[in-house]
Amino acid sequence: MKLKMAPNSLFAILLRNPWWYSVALVVVICAVSAALLPKDVVVFGAIGSFPFLVTAGIALKRQWNKPSAAAVEAEMARLAALSWREFSQELETRFARQGYAVTRLAAQGPSTGAADFRLEKAGRVTLVAAKRYKAATHGVEALEALVAHKEAMGADDAHYLCLGTVSPQAAKYAREHAVKVGL
Protein backbone atom coordinates (compact mmCIF):
# COMPACT_ATOMS: atom_id res chain seq x y z
CA MET A 1 0.00 0.00 0.00
CA LYS A 2 1.45 3.33 -1.07
CA LEU A 3 0.83 6.15 1.36
CA LYS A 4 -0.04 9.51 -0.12
CA MET A 5 0.04 12.86 1.64
CA ALA A 6 -3.13 14.94 1.55
CA PRO A 7 -2.52 17.81 -0.89
CA ASN A 8 -3.72 20.51 1.52
CA SER A 9 -2.08 19.23 4.70
CA LEU A 10 0.27 21.57 6.52
CA PHE A 11 3.32 19.51 5.52
CA ALA A 12 2.29 19.38 1.86
CA ILE A 13 1.81 23.16 1.84
CA LEU A 14 5.21 23.67 3.49
CA LEU A 15 6.88 21.39 0.94
CA ARG A 16 5.49 23.56 -1.89
CA ASN A 17 6.79 26.77 -0.29
CA PRO A 18 10.34 28.03 0.28
CA TRP A 19 12.25 25.89 2.78
CA TRP A 20 12.79 28.75 5.18
CA TYR A 21 9.03 28.88 5.94
CA SER A 22 9.47 25.58 7.78
CA VAL A 23 12.56 26.87 9.60
CA ALA A 24 10.63 29.99 10.66
CA LEU A 25 7.88 27.74 12.01
CA VAL A 26 10.50 25.78 14.00
CA VAL A 27 11.81 29.04 15.48
CA VAL A 28 8.28 30.16 16.40
CA ILE A 29 7.45 26.82 18.05
CA CYS A 30 10.70 26.89 20.05
CA ALA A 31 10.13 30.52 21.10
CA VAL A 32 6.55 29.83 22.19
CA SER A 33 7.70 26.73 24.07
CA ALA A 34 10.40 28.73 25.87
CA ALA A 35 7.97 31.53 26.71
CA LEU A 36 4.94 29.53 27.84
CA LEU A 37 6.13 26.17 29.17
CA PRO A 38 7.79 25.50 32.51
CA LYS A 39 11.59 25.30 32.27
CA ASP A 40 11.70 21.54 32.88
CA VAL A 41 9.47 20.72 29.84
CA VAL A 42 10.68 23.34 27.34
CA VAL A 43 12.82 20.67 25.65
CA PHE A 44 9.74 18.54 24.97
CA GLY A 45 7.94 21.50 23.41
CA ALA A 46 10.94 22.23 21.22
CA ILE A 47 11.15 18.56 20.15
CA GLY A 48 7.63 18.98 18.79
CA SER A 49 9.09 21.17 16.06
CA PHE A 50 11.33 18.36 14.75
CA PRO A 51 8.91 17.26 11.96
CA PHE A 52 8.97 20.82 10.62
CA LEU A 53 12.77 20.75 10.63
CA VAL A 54 12.66 17.53 8.57
CA THR A 55 10.17 19.21 6.22
CA ALA A 56 12.57 22.15 5.84
CA GLY A 57 15.36 19.73 4.92
CA ILE A 58 13.24 17.96 2.31
CA ALA A 59 12.07 21.28 0.83
CA LEU A 60 15.65 22.57 0.75
CA LYS A 61 16.82 19.45 -1.09
CA ARG A 62 14.02 19.80 -3.66
CA GLN A 63 14.67 23.51 -4.18
CA TRP A 64 18.48 23.39 -4.17
CA ASN A 65 19.14 23.64 -7.93
CA LYS A 66 15.82 25.11 -8.97
CA PRO A 67 15.79 28.64 -10.45
CA SER A 68 13.93 31.37 -8.64
CA ALA A 69 10.54 32.59 -9.87
CA ALA A 70 12.20 35.80 -11.10
CA ALA A 71 14.77 33.82 -13.09
CA VAL A 72 12.03 31.69 -14.66
CA GLU A 73 10.05 34.82 -15.55
CA ALA A 74 13.13 36.44 -17.12
CA GLU A 75 13.89 33.30 -19.17
CA MET A 76 10.28 33.10 -20.38
CA ALA A 77 10.45 36.76 -21.46
CA ARG A 78 13.76 36.10 -23.25
CA LEU A 79 12.30 33.11 -25.09
CA ALA A 80 9.18 35.07 -26.06
CA ALA A 81 11.40 37.71 -27.66
CA LEU A 82 13.18 35.17 -29.91
CA SER A 83 12.19 34.64 -33.53
CA TRP A 84 11.26 31.13 -34.65
CA ARG A 85 14.65 30.70 -36.30
CA GLU A 86 16.53 31.64 -33.10
CA PHE A 87 14.19 29.62 -30.89
CA SER A 88 14.45 26.50 -33.06
CA GLN A 89 18.26 26.76 -33.12
CA GLU A 90 18.34 27.04 -29.33
CA LEU A 91 16.01 24.04 -28.99
CA GLU A 92 18.15 21.99 -31.32
CA THR A 93 21.29 22.86 -29.34
CA ARG A 94 19.67 22.05 -26.00
CA PHE A 95 18.28 18.73 -27.20
CA ALA A 96 21.69 17.76 -28.62
CA ARG A 97 23.32 18.64 -25.26
CA GLN A 98 20.89 16.25 -23.57
CA GLY A 99 22.11 13.44 -25.83
CA TYR A 100 19.33 13.35 -28.43
CA ALA A 101 19.89 12.85 -32.13
CA VAL A 102 17.90 15.79 -33.51
CA THR A 103 16.26 15.88 -36.93
CA ARG A 104 14.43 18.98 -38.12
CA LEU A 105 11.29 17.78 -39.85
CA ALA A 106 10.53 21.07 -41.61
CA ALA A 107 14.03 21.02 -43.14
CA GLN A 108 13.08 17.89 -45.12
CA GLY A 109 10.65 19.79 -47.31
CA PRO A 110 7.11 20.86 -46.63
CA SER A 111 6.07 19.26 -43.38
CA THR A 112 2.97 17.13 -43.64
CA GLY A 113 2.70 16.73 -39.90
CA ALA A 114 2.48 18.89 -36.85
CA ALA A 115 5.91 18.12 -35.41
CA ASP A 116 8.96 20.29 -35.94
CA PHE A 117 11.65 18.00 -34.50
CA ARG A 118 12.26 14.28 -34.30
CA LEU A 119 14.38 13.31 -31.30
CA GLU A 120 15.96 9.92 -30.86
CA LYS A 121 17.73 8.64 -27.76
CA ALA A 122 18.24 5.08 -26.54
CA GLY A 123 15.92 3.72 -29.24
CA ARG A 124 13.00 5.97 -28.25
CA VAL A 125 11.61 8.47 -30.73
CA THR A 126 9.98 11.70 -29.56
CA LEU A 127 8.21 14.20 -31.79
CA VAL A 128 8.34 17.83 -30.70
CA ALA A 129 5.93 20.53 -31.88
CA ALA A 130 7.20 24.01 -31.08
CA LYS A 131 6.35 26.37 -33.94
CA ARG A 132 3.32 27.88 -32.16
CA TYR A 133 5.29 28.47 -28.93
CA LYS A 134 4.36 32.17 -28.72
CA ALA A 135 0.58 31.75 -29.00
CA ALA A 136 -1.29 33.09 -25.98
CA THR A 137 -3.69 30.14 -25.80
CA HIS A 138 -3.33 26.69 -27.27
CA GLY A 139 -6.31 24.61 -28.31
CA VAL A 140 -6.88 20.93 -28.85
CA GLU A 141 -6.48 21.07 -32.65
CA ALA A 142 -2.68 21.39 -32.55
CA LEU A 143 -2.45 18.52 -30.06
CA GLU A 144 -4.70 16.32 -32.21
CA ALA A 145 -2.46 17.00 -35.21
CA LEU A 146 0.64 16.16 -33.15
CA VAL A 147 -0.86 12.88 -31.91
CA ALA A 148 -1.88 11.94 -35.47
CA HIS A 149 1.66 12.72 -36.69
CA LYS A 150 3.12 10.68 -33.81
CA GLU A 151 0.97 7.68 -34.74
CA ALA A 152 1.76 8.06 -38.45
CA MET A 153 5.51 8.09 -37.78
CA GLY A 154 5.36 5.39 -35.11
CA ALA A 155 6.98 7.62 -32.49
CA ASP A 156 7.03 6.68 -28.81
CA ASP A 157 6.41 10.12 -27.27
CA ALA A 158 5.12 13.57 -28.15
CA HIS A 159 6.02 16.92 -26.64
CA TYR A 160 4.18 20.18 -27.32
CA LEU A 161 6.28 23.23 -26.41
CA CYS A 162 4.47 26.44 -25.55
CA LEU A 163 4.90 29.58 -23.47
CA GLY A 164 1.18 30.34 -23.18
CA THR A 165 -1.60 28.42 -21.53
CA VAL A 166 -3.52 25.48 -22.93
CA SER A 167 -7.28 25.35 -22.89
CA PRO A 168 -8.91 22.97 -20.41
CA GLN A 169 -9.98 20.71 -23.30
CA ALA A 170 -6.42 20.67 -24.65
CA ALA A 171 -5.00 19.85 -21.20
CA LYS A 172 -7.46 16.97 -20.87
CA TYR A 173 -6.60 15.71 -24.37
CA ALA A 174 -2.88 15.90 -23.59
CA ARG A 175 -3.33 13.85 -20.41
CA GLU A 176 -5.43 11.25 -22.22
CA HIS A 177 -2.90 10.86 -25.04
CA ALA A 178 0.30 11.20 -22.96
CA VAL A 179 1.47 14.38 -24.65
CA LYS A 180 3.89 16.40 -22.53
CA VAL A 181 2.92 20.08 -22.68
CA GLY A 182 5.05 23.09 -21.75
CA LEU A 183 8.73 23.95 -21.75
pLDDT per residue over 145-165, tens digit each? 889 888 888 889 999 988 888
**Contact in structure between 56 and 86 (CB atoms under 8 Å):** no
Residue (of 67, 68, 120) closest to 98 by Cα position: 120
Residue 131 contacts residue 160 (beta carbons within 8 Å): no
Q: Note down the domain range covering 141.
A: 69-181
In a domain, 1, yes or no: no
Question: Can you name the residues that pair with 117 across neighbouring β-strands?
Answer: 104, 128
- Local confidence band at 111 (pLDDT 50, 70, 90 cut-offs): very low
Q: Burial of 106 by CB count in 10 Å (0-12 exposed, 13-18 middle, 19+ buried)?
A: middle
| 75 & 162 share domain | yes
Is residue 5, in this structure, part of any structural domain at all? Answer: no
Tell me: do 137 and 113 sit in the same domain: yes
Q: How confident is the model at residue 109 (pLDDT cuts 50, 70, 90)?
A: very low
Q: Does the pLDDT value for residue 60 go beyond 90? A: yes
User: Which tens digits make up the pLDDT trace of 67-106?
Assistant: 888 888 898 889 889 888 899 899 999 999 999 998 888 6
CATH of the domain at 110: 3.40.1350.10
pLDDT tens, position by position, 46-59: 999 999 999 999 99
Whole-angstrom CA distances from 33 to 37, 78, 81 are: 5, 49, 53
Total domain count, the chain: 2
37 and 108 belong to one structural domain: no
Of 63, 79, 99, the domain-final residue: 63
127 and 40 in a single domain? The answer is no
Residue 4 lies in a domain: no
63/61 Cα distance (integer angstroms): 6
Q: Are residues 35 and 78 in the same domain?
A: no
Task: Please spell the DSSP secondary structure of 95-145, one letter per residue.
Answer: HHHTT-EEEESGGGSS--SS-SEEEEETTEEEEEE-TTTT-SEE-HHHHHH
Beta-sheet pairing, 101-104 with 117-121: antiparallel
